[in-house]
C-alpha cells in the first residue's frame, strides 16, 4: 500500500511540474543562442569605450551572458532547483495554479516570469549575488565553509537563495487582488479571484517563511538585521505615491518647479522596491566573506545601481518593443515620469486611473511619451547607472566573475 502511495505521489508531482520543466528546458536551450566574448579592456577605460569595443566584436546577448555566468558559479544558482521543484509544497502550488489557467488572476503572470528567458527573469538576482561573491573572494574563512567547485561559500549560496525567495514572495504578494463589492459581478470570475488570492497569499508566505528560516540558519545577527531592513523597504515601497483601488502605482503630482522631478521620484520608488534588496544582498555576501565595511558598501552601491539600470531597462521595453500600444504598462515607468517633467498635461489622461488604471487610455499615453524626450532620457538613465555599476566593479581584481558581471551589464543595454 505504501508503495502505491509513493508511486501516486510521484505521478502527481510529475503531472504538476511537467509544464514547468518543459518551459525551463526551453529557457536553457534559448540561453545558448549568441555569444558575448570576454574582453581584455583595462580598468581605466571608460564605459563608453568598453561598450564600443564589445559592439565591434559581436552584439551582446542577454541569454548567453547569463548562461555563461551560471557556469562560473555552478548551475543551478536558483532556489528554483530540483530540491524545491520536487518538494510537496511547490508541487501542490503547481497543481493549484493549473486551476487558475484561463482566469485573469495576476498570480499566473508572476509564475510565468519565474521561467521567462528575458531581462525580467527573477532568478538572475541570485546569480548576481554569487558573481559578486566570487569576484571579491573571501578572507579568513574555514575551508569547510567553501564550495570548492563554485569558489563561493555555502553561506553565500544560501544568501543568494534567500534573496530570490524574498523578491519572489514580494512579487507574488503584489499579485493579490482587492476584491471589492461589484468589481467582479460574475460568480465564476469572483471565485477565481478569491481562489487565486488564497494561493498567492499562502505561496508568498511559504517563500518568505523559508527565506527567514534559511537566513536564521546562517547565525549572523548583523546579516539578519541587514536583510530585514531590505524587507522593510519592500513593504514601504507599496505605500509610496498615489495608488488606485488595486494598489497600482500612479505618478505623484509634480511640484510647480518640475526640475529633477522624474529622477527623484523614480529613484525613490525603485531603490525601495528593488535596489535596496539587491544592494543589501551584495553587501551581506561580502560581510559573510569577512571583508571590511568599505568594500561592503561598494557591494551595496553595485547592487543598487545594477538594480536601477535593470529597472530602467524593463521600463523601456514597452516603448521600444513595438508591441500593442494599447496594452497596459507601468504608469510610473521612467519614460512616463520624464514626459511628465517635460509636459505635465499628460496627467489629465493618467488621472483617469485614480479609481482603476484600466480607465487610462494607454494608447494615448504611449503616443505622447514616444513623441517626447522620455525614451531617450531613460536610455541615458540606464547608461548612467550601468556606468556607475561598472565603476564599482573596477575595485575588484580581474576574474571570470567580474568579466561575467561586465557582460551582463553590457547586455542589459542592448536595445
For position 85, what pLDDT does the model report?
56
Among 88-102, 235-249, 342-356, 393-407, the minimum mean pLDDT is found in 88-102
Dump pLDDT digits (tens) for 85-116: 556 666 676 666 666 776 777 777 777 666 55
Of residues 243 and 105, the one with the higher pLDDT is 243
Highest mean pLDDT among 57-71, 175-189, 241-255, 298-312: 298-312
Give residue 230's pLDDT band: very low, low, confident or very high (50, 70, 90): very high
Of residues 6 and 115, the one with the higher pLDDT is 115
Q: What are the phi and psi torsion angles at 153 (to 5°)? A: -85, 155
**CA-to-CA separations, 391 to 53, 70, 80, 193, in angstroms, rounded:** 17, 23, 31, 46
Strand pairing partners for 152?
147
Closest CA to 415 of 337, 317, 330, 311: 317
pLDDT > 90: what percent of the chain?
Answer: 47
Closest CA to 131 of 358, 362, 408, 340: 408
- Distance (Å, whole) CA 70 – CA 130: 9
Closest CA to 340 of 407, 415, 242: 242
Among 12-21, 68-77, 85-94, 220-229, the minimum mean pLDDT is found in 12-21
The mean pLDDT of 251-259, rounded to a whole number, is 92
pTM of the model: 0.79
Task: Inform me whether the pLDDT recorded for 15 exceeds 50.
Answer: no
For position 114, what pLDDT does the model report?
63
**Neighbour-count burial of 39, counting CB atoms closer than 10 A to its CB (0-12 exposed, 13-18 middle, 19+ buried):** middle
For position 39, what pLDDT does the model report?
39
Dump pLDDT digits (tens) for 23-74: 444 333 333 333 333 334 444 344 434 433 433 345 567 778 888 888 888 7
For position 359, what pLDDT does the model report?
92
For position 6, what pLDDT does the model report?
46
Give the torsion through C-alpha atoms of 149, 155, 158, 160, to 10 deg: -80
- Distance (Å, whole) CA 34 – CA 55: 13
Dump pLDDT digits (tens) for 202-222: 888 988 998 999 999 999 999
Amino acid at each position: 500500500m505504501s508503495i502505491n502511495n509513493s508511486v501516486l505521489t510521484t505521478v502527481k508531482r510529475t503531472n504538476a511540474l511537467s509544464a514547468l520543466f518543459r518551459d525551463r528546458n526551453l529557457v536553457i536551450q534559448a540561453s545558448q543562442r549568441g555569444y558575448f566574448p570576454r574582453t581584455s579592456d583595462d580598468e581605466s577605460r571608460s564605459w563608453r569605450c568598453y561598450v564600443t569595443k564589445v559592439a565591434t566584436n559581436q552584439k551582446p546577448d542577454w541569454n548567453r551572458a547569463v548562461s555563461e555566468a551560471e557556469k562560473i558559479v555552478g548551475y543551478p544558482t536558483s532556489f528554483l532547483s530540483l530540491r524545491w521543484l520536487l518538494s510537496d509544497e511547490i508541487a501542490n502550488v503547481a497543481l493549484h495554479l493549473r486551476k487558475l489557467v484561463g482566469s485573469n488572476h495576476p498570480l499566473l503572470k508572476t509564475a510565468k516570469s519565474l521561467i521567462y528567458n528575458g531581462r525580467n527573469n527573477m532568478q538572475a538576482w541570485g546569480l548576481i549575488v554569487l558573481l559578486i561573491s566570487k569576484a571579491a573572494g573571501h578572507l579568513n574563512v574555514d575551508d569547510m565553509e567553501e564550495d570548492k567547485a563554485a569558489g563561493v561559500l555555502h553561506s553565500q549560496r544560501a544568501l543568494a537563495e534567500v534573496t530570490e525567495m524574498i523578491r519572489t514572495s514580494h512579487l507574488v504578494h503584489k499579485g493579490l487582488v482587492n476584491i471589492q463589492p461589484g468589481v467582479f459581478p460574475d460568480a465564476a470570475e469572483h471565485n477565481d479571484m478569491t481562489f487565486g488570492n488564497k494561493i498567492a497569499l499562502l505561496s508568498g508566505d511559504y517563500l518568505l517563511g523559508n527565506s527567514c528560516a534559511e537566513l536564521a540558519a546562517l547565525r549572523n545577527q548583523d546579516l539578519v538585521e541587514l536583510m530585514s531592513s531590505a524587507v522593510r523597504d519592500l513593504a514601504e515601497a507599496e505605500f509610496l505615491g498615489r495608488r488606485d483601488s488595486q494598489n497600482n502605482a500612479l505618478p505623484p503630482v509634480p511640484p510647480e518647479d518640475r526640475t529633477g522631478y522624474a529622477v527623484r521620484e523614480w529613484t525613490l520608488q525603485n531603490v525601495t522596491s528593488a535596489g535596496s534588496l539587491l544592494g543589501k544582498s551584495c553587501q551581506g555576501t561580502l560581510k559573510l566573506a569577512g571583508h571590511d565595511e568599505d568594500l561592503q558598501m561598494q557591494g551595496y552601491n553595485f547592487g543598487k545601481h545594477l538594480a536601477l539600470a535593470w529597472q530602467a531597462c524593463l521600463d523601456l521595453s514597452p516603448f521600444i518593443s513595438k508591441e500593442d500600444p494599447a496594452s497596459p504598462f507601468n504608469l510610473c515607468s521612467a519614460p512616463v515620469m520624464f514626459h511628465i517633467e517635460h509636459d505635465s498635461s499628460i496627467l489629465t489622461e493618467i488621472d483617469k486611473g485614480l479609481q482603476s488604471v484600466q480607465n487610462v487610455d494607454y494608447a494615448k499615453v504611449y503616443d505622447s511619451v514616444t513623441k517626447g524626450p522620455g525614451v531617450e532620457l531613460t536610455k541615458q538613465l540606464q547608461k548612467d547607472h550601468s556606468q556607475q555599476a561598472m565603476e564599482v566593479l573596477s575595485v575588484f581584481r580581474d576574474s571570470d566573475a567580474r568579466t561575467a558581471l561586465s557582460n551582463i551589464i553590457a547586455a542589459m543595454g542592448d536595445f
